[in-house]
Amino acid sequence: MMFEEIFQKNSQWVAEKLSVDENYFANLAAGQHPEYLYIGCSDSRVTAEDLMGLQPGEVFIHRNVANLVITTDNNLNAVVQYAVERLKVKHIIICGHYECGGVAAAMNPSDMGQLNSWLQALRDVYRLHRKELDAITDEKKRVDRLVELNVREQCINVIKIDHVQRSWYATGFPTIHGWVFDVRTGRLIDLDLDMYSIFGEVRSIYDVVRGDRE
């Protein structure tokens, strides 16, 4: 596709939106009030609004390779703080996806330059769950399982962030969700993670707001 085609498609998109609602862009310009923060993979096949069936303005989005929540990542922390403190999102969604190249690379170590340090976090997830993963003989199923376990670990990482903890204790929100998008079927899969119980297991280590006083 040539760049000119992109701008032509943009013009068509604008016309389509205005044909349905003449105030569409005026309403967009008025501000955003999303209830969801979506942290997903940068993979070009996984677009948050499309797979969730939502419209612009309904979901705040952060994407990176393999949907990692690195608590020392200033970009990620800025997104989370803004979403929680300013936008008052009610839900934080960590969404991985099957056929994830980053996850597959983490299970097959090789020198990938700048990606080496980034994928280290994924390899840590593999190390934490190596016994379970190495017991899976089917390679595709093993990678799929690491996708799921990675989502779980990133959900824990979100709760480690002080902005999230303060809001959690003050309001009960945001609720943390772990999902996987199956690119083979188009279906979203809710991993049904009970993050209150999961965080309870490690609260004495990571709770920076209340510690283990309660």
Alpha-carbon torsion, ordered 151, 157, 159, 163, to 10 deg: -130
| Active-site option among 33, 45, 130, 187 | 45
DSSP reduced 3-state for 138: coil
**Cis peptide bond upstream of 174, omega within 30:** yes
> Catalytic residue at 41?
yes
DSSP reduced 3-state for 76: helix
Q: Which tokens in the block code for residue 92?
A: 């934080």
CA distance 84 to 90: 8
> Catalytic residue at 155?
no
Cα→Cα distances 96→73, 80, 85, 184, Å:
18, 18, 25, 13
CA distance 103 to 67: 10
| Active-site option among 97, 142, 163, 177 | 97
> Catalytic residue at 142?
no
Give catalytic residues, as residue numbers. Answer: 41, 43, 45, 97, 100
